[in-house]
Structure 1
């Protein structure tokens, strides 16, 4: 009958395991009699106990996010998570408020931060977890379905006497899959928390509405090796955080568009179970400790490169580049004449984004996506040229609808986009210019001339 998934071999008829009395998972069950059924039931109970220890929560979704949070916090605490002292909270709050005042001169979008905050790494985890849940659950659901199908879902072959027990077993396997995804997510988010600077590091709206935040520990880490005063660095990073929040707060469609693009991409991810099969092949399922060790590695995620997924990736990369390019343009204009080191700080931030920082590693782990705004410089150049051509008000008006924004093709060929906008500008100027009067027209354009001489 061939091999089952994960190397649990079905014995052939010649081996005494054929028919309904076979051992479909290679677990050592023989004739299928009462003793074998009792052994199988005992194995299921042991398997359930193991999953309970892994922290899964049946019925609560594909991932137990309380477990994710606990794992991430453990990773953060291991690396050190100093509490934010009162002086640091005051410094961050004042920097964010001052940044919003400066940004008023760089953009017509109003302030988006109602609650400036300074976070510890654990506080960042707590505040951003709801958004991570939205991003990771689609991949977790795909992983759970894949594992359940591989272990005997619809279309699988099970002897009749074990059919009644198959449902609980497959349910446990799905539970195990959720635990695997949750453990990997916890490790990844804990690592990211140790490196982030604020709530908008990766260009996604992770903070609650109206909240802008910096992590003093992250600011300090970013400052290492930069010969720039700490206050200047903090203000520059506050400008970036506040600029992001203006977009997220006052471009109604942007938040959902970014998150939807990530979710759409994640739904097209293929779960590679080959590594897991090698680990589980021949594994003694009566040994929970061995099972936990075998399932402790990373899940391999690979894109299927469907047309829908390519479209989602292109949409996400373009949006991220436009967001980051706009932020860089607005921050540069607002910092001009105020922060002497704004240019080198911008370059340091550009390098951080372009070389694959924590955001890219986290997304590659969680959703199989390398999150990198590949056309960041092109987007900054385009936004800067638009500012010179049309001014900040017309530039920012492009965020009014997604169809108005530059496309991926526009970033590759910015001159065509700028020429089109220049033509629009020229046409609008013509529309505002009064038409020349025809001979015989009077001042009100009626075409009569009731001059005293003719009367």
Structure 2
């Protein structure tokens, strides 16, 4: 049994208490020397270290974000040459985008944004999307930190009160460090692969023109046995369609942000995965950087898969909305290119394979949010939009007027049911009038 006299122990805490807390959190190991751990804890606390005081991110979140984005931009330099467009190339981009817009205007009621297109470098795309990324991921960082702190406090609430209170800030700091370390790498990877401004499936920029990340498009066309001009035109049709949708459906981006923030509040930590990677051989030298390295080992398993009813409901709504967006883009692009571009079916298949193999949007949602989205839903959504157009004609885009008007997950599985449900009240009314007529006044 642990002694009640803890005055001679580092930090004044019972070794058995900290052992119990760490083991309950899944961080225990038979090889750990908890004496050394507590000595390290005491030194960090005495020095006012970041584990027990305000971290740099707590003191200046703006500076912490700038540091993360700068690190991501530096990592993009490893992706190879990234030159700016020459004047002649900019002229080609403007002309091609104008053609793409003219094709689109015949197949959607959403008008052009009126903004000139731009070809940007990878680092510039990161800079332009920085504020959008911050709005997206800071709730996730806070959600992870809260989840890890809740884990420490819940386990220590009954009997480890003071110790739990001491370790909880360390848990928050660790979560933030682990996530930010992953964030800079994922953002660099996405910047090195994304082809157009909103290919990730969400709008990260306000009032932005159609953007093309030119170096990535050049790399993308290398292995395609198709004319570069056709590839660029097809990508511009897709990007222009998505931009029109985001610009003219005002509730769309806020709705996505609200769903992501709600999901962040429901995050839970996969302590078992952390435990499997947490085995420092020398606790005397263990530091916060070691915690970051643990996070690197854990990678995607840092998140527990969505399992609660609330998490699954949010995930379902996110999947549905993202699928409806991309399905609409696929459908409108197919309609706009069908007459004028013989290579369009081939390019459509290339985009589908890219999406299925884990493209930019998959990386973002899986690596940064722990969401495993199903690309096949996009094909179902494309079929649904085709069915809606067949049923309603030019009124297809009016479905985007309000989120309550959108199809549901059930409609994805049965596209014809969306139009049938819409017609049901009219048919019921007709049936009632027929019954009155047939029954006659004396019935």
Q: Which residue of 2 aligns with 1:58?
A: 58
What corresponds to 1:401 in structure 2? 402
1:61-110, Cα deviation, whole Å (9 max, x unpaired) = 59932232123123211122512222443333332232222211111111
Residues of 2 paired with 1:29 and 1:349: CA distance? Answer: 54
Q: Give secondary structure in 1 for the equivalent of 2:203.
A: coil
Quick check: 1:371 aligned with 2:373? yes
Give the structure 2 partner of residue 453 of structure 1. Answer: none
- Structure 2 matches for 1:27-426, cutoff 5 A? 28=35, 41-44=42-45, 48=49, 56-61=56-61, 64-86=64-86, 87-112=88-113, 114-151=115-152, 155=157, 167=166, 170-277=168-275, 278-279=277-278, 283-288=282-287, 290=290, 293-294=293-294, 296-299=296-299, 300-391=302-393, 393-421=394-422
Q: CA deviation at 1:115?
A: 4.1
Count of residues paired in the alignment: 407
Q: Is the contact between residue 270 and residue 303 of structure 2 (CA under 8 Å) also seen in structure 1?
A: yes
TM-score in terms of structure 2 length: 0.79
Q: Aligned equivalents of 1:122 and 1:19: distance in 2?
A: 46
User: Contact 1:212–1:245 at 8 Å: present in 2 too?
Assistant: yes
1:22 counterpart = 2:14: yes
Of 61-70 and 371-380, deviating more is 61-70
- Distance in 1 separating the partners of 2:158 and 2:91: 62
CA spacing shift, 1:242–1:285, aligned 2, 3 Å: farther
Cα pair 1:62 1:178 within 8 Å, conserved: no
Tell me if the contact between 2:306 and 2:312 (Cα under 8 Å) persists in the aligned partners.
Answer: no
Asked whether the equivalents of residues 51 and 176 of structure 1 are also in contact (C-alpha less than 8 Å), the reply is no
CA distance in 2, matches of 1:418, 1:242: 27
Q: Is the 8 A contact 1:99 1:242 kept in 2?
A: yes
Q: Is the 8 A contact 2:198 2:204 kept in 1?
A: yes
Deviation string, structure 1 residues 169-228 (Cα, Å, up to 9, x no partner): 643542332121101111111111111011221221123224321111222232233221
Deviates more, 1:116-125 or 1:297-306: 297-306
**Contact 2:72–2:188 (Cα < 8 Å) also in 1:** yes
Q: Deviations over 1:227-286 (max 9, x none)?
A: 211111101100000000111111111111222223323332211133434525675255
| 2:200 counterpart SS class | coil
Cα–Cα, structure 1 residues 123 and 155, in superposed 2: closer, same or farther, change >3 Å?
A: same
Q: Aligned equivalents of 2:343 and 2:360: distance in 1? A: 24
Equivalent-residue separation in structure 1 for 2:426 and 2:228 (angstroms)? 43
The Cα of 1:363 is off from its aligned counterpart by: 1.8
Q: Is the alpha carbon distance of 1:97 and 1:50 closer, same or farther for their aligned partners in structure 2, counting shifts above 3 Å?
A: farther
Deviates more, 1:306-315 or 1:84-93: 84-93
> How far does residue 424 in structure 1 lie from its aligned partner after superposition?
7.7
Structure (1 or 2) with the larger CA radius of gyration? 1
**Which residue matches 1:4?**
none
Shift of 1:156: 6.8
Provide the aligned C-alpha RMSD in A.
3.7
Q: Using a 3 Å threshold, how does the CA distance of structure 1 residues 115 and 302 change in structure 2: closer, same or farther?
A: farther
Equivalent residues of 1:62, 1:141 under 8 A apart: no
CA distance in 1, matches of 2:149, 2:34: 18
Residues 1:12 and 1:124: Cα distance change in structure 2 (over 3 Å)? farther
Aligned residues of 2:11 and 2:42 also touching (Cα < 8 A):
no
